[in-house]
Amino acid sequence: MTPASGYPLLLDLTSRRALVVGGGPIAARRMRGVVDAGAEVHVVAPFVCEDVWDAAESGDITLHLREFNDHDLEDCWLVHTATGERSIDEAVAAEADRRRLWCVRADDAEASRAWTPAVARVGDVVVAINAAGDPRRSSTLRNAIALALDTGALPLRRQRPSTAGHVALVGGGPGDAGLITTRGRRMLAEADVVVTDRLAPLALLDDLDPDVEVIDAGKAPREHTLTQDEINALIIDRALAGMRVVRLKGGDPFVLGRGSEEAAACRAAGVEVTVVPGVTSALAVPAAAGIPVTARGVTSRFSVVSGHDGPLDFASLAALDGTLLFLMGLSRLAEIARELMAHGRPTDEPVAVIENGTTPDQRVTVATLSTIADRAAERGVRNPAVIVVGAVAAMGDA
């Protein structure tokens, strides 16, 4: 009998007694696996390594500092033996076999009656790999599969219906589809419904299953596909129907993205909600243009301002030290420049406007407060754009 021809099985060890014989690093790894599975773990060894000792002191295991005897197997459901002494491992395995207990031998896979695979756990997915007689091969495969699961490269979407829906507010990053986080990409791969914004990385939608519902909830100035109340009602409705909903946004959902309103609405409706932070365009777009928002010897602080939410307190903004970053402010560029100068900012202070940041269409326009409005109009600068005001604006790759 070899591991390749064995019968794979997952065990519920919750509150069931498991025995680990041995106190070295290998035994410690086996111990941690059964502890994590919720077992009542007993470790028997005359000497133990630090990891085993720490687990005993924290109450995760019961430690018996002595040699193994047959009575240790009483009431056990599973046994691991990893003493480093072949004769002892053979004796433990033989007594376990006599008692019809599954025993995993660390010293000899071919002589063992049970084997522990390399395991990849991503979300609620568990994948076990056992390349017979080659644990390094198993680990390499496990790592590759775990990475593919974690990045959404493998089909993660649940196929059986569920009564427990869920909403994930996912920040898609500043534009380039490669700048979404790994967790955000995985949430997309699990989604039944995707409610997307205009500035979200829409190229990722091409990788979704054909039957995933995609809803455009994009907002542009004076042009809303859905109101915010309608978006809240939509994601709650789908989640209450048992679906996994991803609300895919550009940037970060909690940076001028109304993500907090959507999260509050979900919680008020009794819907589980997860916030997946994204790379905010306020920082990433200047960086992609070679503009640091802080730089040693230049400035150590920055402020992020919404350019379209009502009147701006230009007196306070002009008095701030450091870099000013305006999001959604392109339509007010002339006003922003004029008012900042009127309240004391230097007329020759550098300004950069970055269009379509991080995408192949990225373009940077650099001027000064006194000239930026005319320069942007001359070049036909358009949204989406980030405005950078401060000395750092002259440090980029324009």
Catalytic site positions: 197, 219
| Residues 6 or more apart in contact with residue 301 via CB below 8 angstroms | 294, 321, 322, 323
CA pair distance 262, 254, nearest whole angstrom: 10
Q: What angle do CA 19, 21, 27 make, to 5 degrees?
A: 100
Is 396:352 a contact under the CB 8 Å cutoff?
Answer: yes
List the structure tokens of 113: 């009656």
List the structure tokens of 302: 């920055």
Is 273:169 a contact under the CB 8 Å cutoff?
Answer: yes
Element (DSSP H or E) covering residue 372: helix 372-379
One-letter identity of residue 61: I
Exposed/middle/buried for residue 87 (C-beta within 10 Å: 0-12, 13-18, 19+): exposed
387 bridge partner residues: 326, 353
Give the start-end residues of each E strand in 329-394: 350-355, 363-368, 385-389
Is 49:24 a contact under the CB 8 Å cutoff?
Answer: yes
**Do the strands 302-306 and 118-122 form a parallel or antiparallel pair, or are they unpaired?**
unpaired
